[in-house]
Every structure is written in C-alpha cells, then in structure tokens.
Structure 1
Amino acid sequence: MVVSVLFSCGSRKRKHKSSKSKHRTEHVQRKEDSRKIENTDTPAETQEIVVPKAVSSTDEYIKLYSDIAMEEMKFYNIPASITLAQGILESGSGRGRLAVEANNHFGIKCHEWTGASIRHDDDEDQECFRKYKDAKYSYRDHSLFLTERKRYSGLFELDIDDYKGWAKGLRAAGYATDRKYPEKLISLIERYQLYTYDDVVTGKAPKRAKSSLSNPEDVHYVVKGDTLYSISRRYNISVKELQKLNGLRDTTISIGQALIVKS
C-alpha cells in the first residue's frame, strides 16, 4: 500500500482516485519545525542519498528501524509499535521500490517538495514521490503528519501504549480506506511483539528487556523449526534460563516471537 499526501492551504482539493488502487492512505503537507526534514532545499542533482541496507526479512527491518521508531515516540508521543507496523505494511518491510530507491517508507508524495524525487505508479502513472537522504527523515515526516493534522488530535488523548486504540483510530480518522487496516496493524504488532518497544519508552519493560531491545544481538526472533532447546544450544544458555528471562511457563514459542537470549 502506498500513502498519498493531501495538502491544506486555504481550500482543499481532492485528487481523482483511479481504479488502480483499491485502498488509499493519505498524507498532508507539514510545516517545518526545529527538527525539520533535511534535504528540502538541496538540489536533487547534488543531493547525496544514503543507500539503505538490503532488508531480507521483517525481523531484520524491525532491528534496523526500532530505535528510530522509539526516538520518534519520545518526541511525538506516537506509539513505536504503530510507527513500525505502518512502516512494515507501507514499505513491504523495507523491500518496496520507494523504500529501496528513495528511503521513503510511508509513500509520501512530492507536493511542494524541492528536494530529490522519484517517479512511481500509484493512483496515477508516474507520480512524484519524495526521496529522502536517509530513511530516518521519512519517519520524521510521518510523525509530523500525524501531529499536525487536527483530525488525528483525538489519538493523542489515548494512552500512549494503546496500540489497538491507535490502529482503530487511524482508520476512523480517515488515514486509510482499507476496512481491514486496523486488523493488519494489530496483527503485525502482536505477531512481532512490537508493543515491547512501547514498553521500553514508557519504562514498563524490565531493565534486562530494555538492554536487550537496544542490542539486537541479545534478542533472537523465532523462525520456523526453532525450539527452546535448539535456541538454548545456539546461545549457550539453558532452557530453564530462557524461560526465566522471557517469562515463559512452558516450552511453547511462536514464529516471529522475540526472545531475550542473554541475561
């Protein structure tokens, strides 16, 4: 799914929606603040783009961008779990063309953008999308959009870690036309336990969990064929210790689950 941007300057113009895209999400032009998006006034032909690291899986995407999502949560009070889930969904876990070639993880279109850009088929053929110097600026643009659009103000009255409320609220406020958008976000958050990053920011996570989530080497993401025993052998730790570190009552684990593997 690719996100389109609508802008509000006096009167608001609606864009024609073609049959190419069944569901659509929207973004609006945002004002610059003290943490403005870089490269807006850098000529496209001279701007240096940080080539993103190739992402092979959703687990790797989470490891690469979780720190950025948590930082955005600290600045803008948007759950890191929501930001990560939207990034995963909108960018295809960082493997979509806009993410790979333009560091654009939320499908934000040009509209008065003076920096580098890329052409990509969306609602219409070869539309203009923003090209960021670094993916972190795409995350910042996403944060500014949600905080500066009045229709989303109600979301910030929810508990900061209420990811279910945020997922449903985004759809209700008009962020996406896909009726299953909230369920998709919630499914990603629960499958990959993205709510743990909210806990790190709010301080609800145990100290050992904070340390582990900050260091990807201390976390193992369960893949098909894994068992607690095989994981314990891999990290030279006992099954009992694994259970203790992760609050497990038995040996049941699920694909995508994040396990702390270092005490």
Structure 2
Amino acid sequence: MNISKKPILLAGIILLALPLAAAAQQPARKGSRMTREEYIDRYKSIAVEQMERYGIPASITMAQGILESDCGNSTLSKSSNNHFGIKCKKNWTGERVFHDDDARGECFRAYPSVEASYHDHAEFLDSQPRYDSLFVYASNDYRSWARGLKAAGYATAPDYAQRLIRIIEECELHLLDRPDGERLYASSKPAQNEPEEWFSGQSSVEQGARSSELVDPDDYRVTINAHRGYNVYATNGVHYVLAKEGDTFERLGELFRIAPRNLRKFNDLKDKRAQPMTGEVVYIERKKRLWEGNARHHVCRQGETAYAVGQSYGLRTAAVEKLNGLRRGETLQAGRELRIR
C-alpha cells in the first residue's frame, strides 16, 4: 500500500495515565497472533483520547490501526511500533526501520511505543493541509472520514474506504465515537439502538413554510433535545445551539465532544481566536451546500452578508457565494434575492 506521509514533530503530547501507557506498550504474546478484539481492547482508550483532542473519530483511528498493522501482527508494527504505515520522508529525525512496501527497502518511522505511533498519526492528520477537508465532518461521521481519507490520498487501494467502513461496522467501532463510547462498546449495544444523546428527539419541519417561495428560516427551527443545559435545534437538517454568555468554542467543544477547531470550521470561522457571541448560532455539525426546502430564494436585509445568510439557513458560506457569484465578504443590499438551492 502506498501511503505518502510528511514528517511532523511530536509536540504537546498529553501523557496518559500510567496503566494506559503500560497497556499500550505491552507486547503481543510470543508465538500468537493478536485478534481484532484484543487489539481493540488494548488501544481503544488511546483512540478515544485522540478523538477528544483532535476530532478524529475513534472508530477511524482503530480501523486504520487494524488494517495497516494487521492488528499489530505485521512485521513493520512488531519491529517499529508503527501501526499506521507512516514513512520517514526527508525531514524525519527519529528512529527508523527499512521495510519492503511499494519499493524495496523503504524507510519507515520507528516509535518507542504503540502509543507514540497513535499520537503521531493524529498529529499528522491534524497538521497536513490535504486533510483539512476531513475536519469539517463530525467525529461520529465515520463514513465521510473513510471516503475523505481515500480521496486525500492516504492510500492507493481503490477499496480503502470500503475496507475501513467494513471493519468499523463488523466490530461496532462506531460506538466509540459516541459520548461514553467505551462503555457502550463494552456492553456491545448495536449502534442503531443507541440514540445520539443530543440528536434523540423527533424532528419535523412546519409544512406551511415549504409552500412559500421566500422563506423565513426561523420557521424551520426545530428543537431536537436538551444536552447539558443547551437546547439543540435543527435548521435544514443541521444541528446547532445558541451560545450563552461567557461561552467559548473550547467549552462548547468539551460539552459536545467536538474539537474547537472543528466548531470553528462548522461555522466558517477562519480566525483561530474567534469566539461565539451571546445568542449567536453555533453549528455542531457540518452545514450543507443547498437548502433542502422547496423555497429557492432569500430576500436580503440591508447590510447582510453571505455568512449571515448561511448561518440562518444551515448553508456553507462558500456555497452561498458560489450560487450567487458573490465576492468573499460582500455586503448585500436590502431586497436582493439570493439563491439558496
């Protein structure tokens, strides 16, 4: 499998508890193959930690580890603790081993522990621009992550995404992506019978709004459920909350188990210092490209922007701009009609 990697520095790693670290570094039994179940049990806590820090689904991390390392049984993983097939490239300054892959004697990174390999994998996905598009997906959207990894060139195998998805679903790894995921996984509850904690209500859009050509998006605001003191709403099928006084993306990210950088991306904010204002809509999953109601247009208010329209309708700012040929940040005149689908 051809997996092109650029080296990165392992920086800012938060140490795990000693029992976890010891478990992560424990070698496989001599003369025996580690099973999928043993592999998952040994490393799932590390995968969940990376999800909480970076927003990478724990299910994706586990599936890649299973696939790339053959459940820790491959020659590469045994000789170097490299469970994700990350190659050295020219800037790697750490330990290395040589292994036949697409070519003979290719250089691969070596790690002091499997835990370090997991950390490097998360840092790599987080730091490389070609994977930026993945972080707009929710940390429970493993299918989009799997397809995105393939599209971004993580591996050349044409069925790479399907193989990841199959592993996740066969092993019910998607349970790890949920709040209290390790407990859910341990109890082996089927994913379809476990409602999302903050998506668990029944959602229905008022039908009266669908018959109007020009639509008020507030007619499509539906309360889904309460989560840790926040009402969760849906517009255009996209879930959001209203920021409270003193809220930050870091606090909301902790409550909803979403990386703060992902919350900023979900809300089309490029400034890493940006914080929500009191009463502001904060989307907790990726917005859509098109309005899914019957209405086709929005009538602008004076001074409105594509960003404001997108936040009202659950649409990505770039999609609103593209649909209407707008310049980035362009201020709109009152009465102008914008296409929303």
What TM-score, normalized to structure 1?
Answer: 0.62
Distance between the aligned counterparts of 2:14 and 2:99, measured in 1? 25
Amino acid of the residue matched to residue 57 of structure 1? T
Q: How many residues align?
A: 180
Within the candidate set 139, 145, 169, 1:190 is matched to: 169
Q: Alpha carbon RMSD of aligned pairs, Å?
A: 2.6
**Please, which moves more after superposition, 60-69 or 174-183?**
174-183
Q: 1:123 to 1:129 in 2, by over 3 A?
A: same
Structure 1, residues 174-197: CA drift from partner, whole Å, max 9, x if none? 222222111000000000000011
Equivalent residue number for residue 99 of structure 2: 120
Equivalent residue number for residue 79 of structure 1: 57
Equivalent residue number for residue 104 of structure 1: 82
Q: Show the 5 A alignment for 1:1-263.
A: 1=1, 24-35=2-13, 52-54=27-29, 55-111=33-89, 112-199=91-178, 203=179, 205=180, 210-211=182-183, 213=185
Distance between the aligned counterparts of 1:248 and 1:77, measured in 2? 22
Amino acid of the residue matched to residue 52 of structure 1? P
More contact order relative to length (CA 8 Å, sep ≥ 6): 1
What TM-score, normalized to structure 2?
Answer: 0.48
Amino acid of the residue matched to residue 130 of structure 1? R
Other structure's SS at 2:102 match: coil
Residue 36 of structure 1, CA deviation? 8.6
Other structure's SS at 1:25 match: coil
Distance between the aligned counterparts of 1:210 and 1:89, measured in 2? 21
Distance between the aligned counterparts of 2:11 and 2:192, measured in 1? 45
| Larger Rg belongs to | 2
Other structure's SS at 1:28 match: coil
CA contact (8 A) 2:10 2:120 kept: no
Q: Percent identity?
A: 42
CA contact (8 A) 2:28 2:34 kept: no
CA contact (8 A) 2:60 2:168 kept: yes
Distance between the aligned counterparts of 2:183 and 2:171, measured in 1? 18
Give structure 1 stretches of 5+ with no counterpart.
2-23, 38-49, 221-244, 250-263
Distance between the aligned counterparts of 2:132 and 2:58, measured in 1? 17
